[in-house]
Amino acid sequence: MDKYQNKYRIGSIRLPGYDYRKNGAYFITICTKNREHFFGKIVDASIIGPLQCKSPMMQLNELGQIAQKYWMEIPNHFPFVELGNFVVMPNHTHGILVIKRDQYTPVDTLQCNVSTAPTRPINEQMSKISPKPGSISTIIRSYKSAVTKQARLINANFTWQARFHDHIIRNSASFERIQHYISTNPLNWQKDKFSV
């Protein structure tokens, strides 16, 4: 009999059977818990040019700068990752991660996933459901952990939403559309579904 009859287990939102270590482009969205505005605010900024107009832009606070800094450092820790467009919004981040591993590059391992204890059936089950080393889940877990550690030195209440959203980008047209969506996200803040 299953413990709690699977009543309290939350299923994975990852695509079943897909190897998230595979080469490819991934559109990632990570929200703060309860979509709280931890990272700054959208402000109108004058654009200098022939036509003076106002255009919304993201004004990062200290926590927003931390979220941006650690995203930009992902390739330092995962050298097989390239970054596409990225934006920090008041209560979420959007970014593209591109995994580019040649066939001879070994998959990175996390020291915390290595165990010297004898293998038991429960360990086999856990290894099936745990994030795989070098996968999108591992990269995002590392990013969220680094941001949380630094952000809580400034605001002890900082928390991410438990999960993140991913979308596997399957072609160049989709890649360009998502790149544009990310770069124009501050302009569309008022109609953004995460602005609530």
Residue-level pLDDT at 12: 46
pLDDT tens digits for range 126-155? 455 556 677 999 999 999 999 999 999 999
Residue-level pLDDT at 128: 53
Residue 171 DSSP one-character state: S
| Cα Rg of the chain (Å, integer) | 19
Name the band, by pLDDT with cuts 50, 70 and 90, for residue 41.
very high
pLDDT tens digits for range 50-67? 555 567 899 999 999 999
CA distance 56 to 45: 6
pLDDT tens digits for range 97-122? 999 987 544 444 433 333 333 444 55
What value does the mean pLDDT of the chain take?
80
CA distance 42 to 56: 6
CATH topology (fold) of 20-108+129-187:
Alpha-Beta Plaits (3.30.70)
Percent of the chain with pLDDT over 90: 58
Helix, coil or strand: residue 188: helix
pTM greater than 0.95? no
Name the band, by pLDDT with cuts 50, 70 and 90, for residue 193.
low
Residue 6 DSSP one-character state: G
